[in-house]
Amino acid sequence: MTTLVWLRDDLRTADHPALAAAADDPGGVVVAYVLDEESPGVRPLGGAARWWLHHSLLALGERLAELGVPLVLRRGAAARVIPELLAESGASRVLWNRRYGAERAGDAALKATLRERGIATHSFPGGVLFEPGSVVTGQGTAYRVYSAFWRACLAGPPPAAPLPAPAALTAAETQPRSDELTDWALLPTRPDWAGGLAARWVPGEAAAEAGLERFLTERAERYAAERDFPDTESGSELSPHLRWGEVSPRTVWHRALSAGVDAGMFLSELGWREFAWHTAFHAQDLHRCGLNAQFDAFPWRTEPGFELAAWQRGETGFPLVDAGMRELWATGFMHNRVRMVAASFLTKNLLIDWRVGEAWFWDTLVDADAASNPFNWQWVAGCGADAAPYFRIFNPLTQQQRFDPAGGYVARWAPESLLTPEIVDLRASRARALAAYDQVRGGGQAAAGPSAS
């Protein structure tokens, strides 16, 4: 029997349940990645994500070759391509790790179709700590508050222990044809942007393993104290590796617990990622629809004009916002504290729809995934799960004073912003936002809300 292993956002060999299950198949294995941007529920990748994918596939191809199998690349709708790969290889079994967003309806339909044709089809736990649907309230519904969700996660069995990478793989005698990666044209045409991404990141499983080790040995002890300060090197920078499945969250979890450091705060951030994916499992259109329907009528500005462009370019005149937006453009990444400030500024000071900002991050972040990116934008805007109170508006000036007090982060990314005129008055725009939220909520408590943070 020959087995086809279908890769998605799991570009690794360690703790890869589908690959592990195929490793001893006497008929050999076909390992294929399908670039599917056509099927229902699949969101086409942004520019930074496409750059990462290109280099991650190169790295994975090298690692698989070391194990004895080629990486087959094909492009198109999975419902068409997977049967083609099975026919070309003669495989009678197909395995994959599960996805938890809107794509899963297509996966379920494909599984049913293949089984009707006599193809053995199995799926395995994907890139989460706990299977979505297994952590629900007493009423069987999705949690909407993170603290309660995470307590429920921690009260149950721990995440499964990670599986080792196969020592070797046997390639199926007949391998399907493979596309050339360069023909997919994933790399950006803006060489200055690509250069910035390459200077910051090394995609691939080996880099993910090295990054996890570096974090646990050099940064984890000070993570809780320093994680909100963008001018410190205290973060794990594992988010893009997790997004592409170059390391599994189960591996991160167990390695952190065995490292002999206080990793509680770090693991709670991993839990926030988990919360986003469990939310996406129950509400699959996160990048279009707010979880709180009450905010559907929010009076976003329909013509943001030059202010949106100023935000995108990092030319707002608010140094912390500008530094973050320029870091994003240059490296495909932004410090988490600064992400919250930049998102609050766009949605609340400029009254620009959170979906506009989410789309910009989707295109420019190397770690933007279909759950965390819209989930976090909804949290800031006030329409999502465990959302920040609608009256909480991050003041970019006080945030700069608190979290970049020496000015090192701003000096690195946007020093001239200190001398740039501000595009909006903070006090007036805050009052405008509170009035808009009060209008949506039917004259609630907006006027009594706390001051900007």
To the query of whether residue 354 is one of the catalytic residues in this protein, the response is yes
Q: How far apart are the first and last CA of the chain?
A: 61
Q: Residue 180 corresponds to which amino acid?
A: E
Longest dimension (CA), the chain: 71
Mean per-residue pLDDT pooled into runs of 10, the chain (453 residues) = 96 98 94 95 94 98 98 98 98 97 94 97 98 92 94 95 97 97 92 84 98 96 95 95 98 95 93 96 90 89 90 97 97 97 97 97 96 96 79 92 97 92 95 90 44 44
| CA-CA-CA-CA dihedral for 150, 126, 375, 141, to nearest 10 | -60
Cβ atoms 4, 96 nearer than 8 A: no
Q: Which of 354, 360, 379, 413 is catalytic?
A: 354
d(C-alpha 390, C-alpha 322), whole Å:
23
Q: What is the pTM of this model?
A: 0.95
CA distances from 163 to 17, 31, 68, 127 (A): 7, 18, 19, 13
Q: Residue 381 corresponds to which amino acid?
A: A
Of 387, 317, 313, 326, whose CA–CA distance to 349 is shortest?
317
- Buried b or exposed e, range 155-164, using 16+ CB within 10 angstroms: eeeebbebbe
Q: Which of 377, 379, 395, 413 is catalytic?
A: 377
To the query of whether residue 336 is one of the catalytic residues in this protein, the response is yes
Backbone angles phi, psi at 70, to 5 degrees: -85, 160
Q: Is 101 left (phi over 0), alpha (psi -120 to 50) or beta?
A: beta
Of 394, 390, 367, 391, whose CA–CA distance to 378 is shortest?
390
To the query of whether residue 329 is one of the catalytic residues in this protein, the response is no
To the query of whether residue 96 is one of the catalytic residues in this protein, the response is no
Which strand (E) or helix (H) includes residue 198?
helix 191-200
Of 113, 106, 78, 63, whose CA–CA distance to 7 is shortest?
78
Q: Residue 12 corresponds to which amino acid?
A: R
The single residue listed with the structure tokens 């707010």 is 290
Measured over the CA atoms of residue 447, residue 449, residue 450 and residue 453, the dihedral's sign is negative
Q: Which of 38, 84, 336, 422 is catalytic?
A: 336
Q: Which of 88, 221, 272, 422 is catalytic?
A: 272
pLDDT at 296: 87
pLDDT at 450: 33
Q: Is 90 left (phi over 0), alpha (psi -120 to 50) or beta?
A: left
d(C-alpha 190, C-alpha 179), whole Å:
24
Task: Give residue-wise pLDDT tens across range 62-96.
Answer: 999 999 999 999 999 999 999 999 999 999 999 99
Q: Which of 84, 184, 300, 422 is catalytic?
A: 300
pLDDT at 451: 37
